[in-house]
Amino acid sequence: MSIKRDKSEIAESFRHLLLKADEMALDKKKEDLIERFNLEENDKNTSETNSNQSKISSKDRLGISNIKRIPKNPFILNKKIKSDEYLKHRKELIIKLSIILNKHIHYWLQKEMPKFSKLQLEKHIYSLLKHLKK
């Protein structure tokens, strides 16, 4: 009989805990609603104060009501129309420059590189001979 009694007491205390949990949940919902209502009122008050401050700050702007950003160079055209002549001249210049550079590179490889490499080779051989004498 004591086991049945203990079980009934446990079940009753569990029911009591469930009731307490429900009460606490209702209290929490009420508190949340109250806080939300207070936040809405505070937001309204802050928006009113912000609008008042913006009116005051607009008076301190020395009569300038609208300031627009000025671009770095207003004389540059945003959209350049590239005609066929412009593209032809550009291609010709690129070809001429590449020919000139190729000539200089070819000249350097034919005339200057052998001199440079000969000097480098002489220095290297001289250093090897010194190293061998030691």
pLDDT digits (tens, 9 = 90+) for 22-31: 888 888 888 8
Cα–Cα distance list, 78 to 60, 70, 85, 87, 91 (Å): 36, 14, 20, 18, 23
For a pLDDT cut of 90, what percent of the chain falls above it? 0
Positive/negative CA dihedral, 77, 78, 84, 87: positive
Residue 104: pLDDT over 70:
yes
What are the residue boundaries of the structural domains of the chain, listed by start? 1-61, 82-134
Residue 96: pLDDT over 80:
yes
pTM, entire model: 0.29
Token pair in block for residue 133 = 């004498």
Q: Give per-residue pLDDT as tens, 65-81.
A: 555 565 566 565 555 65
Positive/negative CA dihedral, 39, 42, 48, 53: negative
The pLDDT value given to residue 74: 58
The pLDDT value given to residue 59: 52
CB 58 within 8 A of CB 65: yes
Question: What is the mean pLDDT of the segment spanning 94-117?
Answer: 82
Token pair in block for residue 105 = 């590179």
Residue for token pair 């004498």 = 133
Residue 124: pLDDT over 80:
yes
The pLDDT value given to residue 71: 55
Residue for token pair 């627009």 = 68
Q: Give per-residue pLDDT as tens, 5-64.
A: 777 787 787 787 778 878 888 888 888 877 877 776 666 666 666 665 665 555 555 555
Mean pLDDT in the chain? 73
The pLDDT value given to residue 28: 82
